[in-house]
């Protein structure tokens, strides 16, 4: 599970890049009940998504040339500069930064050697998300990739993650569970799934991370997705020992998963 006492390598922030912040806020407000706290035009439209008065994510206008609308996952680091350097030394790239964000955090936008985009967050005044592992909040993260072994090697070296492979039903390969360094299985925060390139069309065949948001009723949440201009790639369907889930797209094509955990 994801918690707010973030350890190094834990997902601690996420933000959404879209062409229209207000329209995106209206969509996610209808789906999850989020409210937008905007920092105004001087911040490029960037703002916080809040639920019950707590920050559950953020949103801003797309600024990176050629970028697709998507959720960006940030992992905690003790040193954003050192992490960015390590990414470059491992064959990845630094897309932006490291840079300071008004004292809130020092961050960098990065790409792994296979093309998967992610970011790192060195806390300043802001340790990260204020609410997780509840309905309407981040509960899990996933990497879809064409090469799970390379991803595990890269991220394992970068964040010292522990991974455990579990077989998928029907002999469909394995799903790699991710746990922060030195933590127990109760702190598992995500997974890595190997898929053929044709199943990664959203990112042009490149790997990509996406968030999983909790829901009290997956089907009802998915209905709100489609009623408000989003779409469904898969589900809702039941996954044994996991829960009921669906892979969704917002009106701009940013992907996320809705999950009602198994009781």
For the whole model, what pTM was predicted? 0.95
What is the domain class of 11-123 according to CATH? alpha beta
**CATH 3.10.180.10 residue spans of the chain:** 11-123, 138-261
Q: pLDDT value at position 112?
A: 97
What is the domain class of 138-261 according to CATH? alpha beta
Q: What is the largest CA-CA distance in the chain?
A: 52
What size, in residues, is the chain?
Answer: 263
Q: pLDDT value at position 125?
A: 95
Q: DSSP letters along 146-186, please?
A: S-HHHHHHHHHHHH--EEEEEEPGGG--EEEEEE-TT--GG
Mean pLDDT (the chain) is 93
More confident residue, 240 or 125: 125
Residue 88 parent element (H or E): helix 80-89
pLDDT tens for residues 15-57? 999 999 999 999 999 999 999 998 877 666 789 999 999 999 9
pLDDT tens for residues 186-238? 788 999 999 999 999 988 999 999 999 999 999 999 999 999 999 999 989 99
**Cβ atoms of residues 211 and 248 within 8 Å:** no
The contacts of residue 217 (CB under 8 Å, 6+ apart) are 260
Pairing assessment for the beta strands 138-145 and 190-194 based on DSSP bridges: parallel
Task: Give the Cα separation of 109 and 132 in Å (integer).
Answer: 22
Q: Which of 256, 260, 253 is nearest to 211 (CA)?
A: 256
């Amino acid at each position: 599970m994801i918690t707010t006492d973030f350890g190094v390598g834990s997902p601690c922030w996420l933000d959404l890049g879209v062409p229209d912040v207000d329209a995106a806020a209206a969509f996610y407000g209808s789906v999850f009940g989020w409210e937008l706290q905007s920092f105004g035009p001087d911040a490029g439209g960037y703002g916080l998504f809040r639920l019950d008065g707590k920050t559950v994510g953020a949103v801003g206008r797309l600024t990176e040339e050629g970028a697709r609308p998507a959720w960006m996952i940030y992992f905690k680091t003790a040193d954003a500069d050192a992490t960015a350097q390590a990414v470059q030394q491992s064959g990845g790239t630094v897309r932006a930064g490291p840079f300071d964000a008004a004292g809130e955090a020092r961050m960098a936008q990065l790409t792994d050697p296979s093309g998967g985009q992610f970011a790192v967050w060195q806390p300043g005044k802001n340790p990260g998300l204020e609410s997780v592992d509840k309905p309407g909040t981040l509960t899990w993260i996933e990497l879809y990739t064409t090469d799970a072994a390379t991803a595990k090697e890269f991220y394992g070296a970068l964040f010292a993650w522990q991974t455990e492979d579990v077989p998928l039903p029907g002999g469909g390969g394995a799903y790699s569970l991710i746990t922060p360094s030195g933590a127990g299985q109760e702190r598992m925060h995500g997974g890595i799934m190997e898929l053929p390139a044709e199943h990664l069309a959203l990112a042009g065949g490149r790997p990509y991370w996406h968030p999983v948001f909790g829901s009290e009723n997956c089907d009802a949440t998915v209905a709100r997705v489609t009623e408000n201009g989003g779409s469904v790639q898969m589900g809702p369907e039941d996954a044994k020992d996991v829960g009921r889930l669906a892979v969704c797209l917002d009106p701009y094509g940013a992907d996320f998963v809705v999950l009602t955990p198994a009781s």
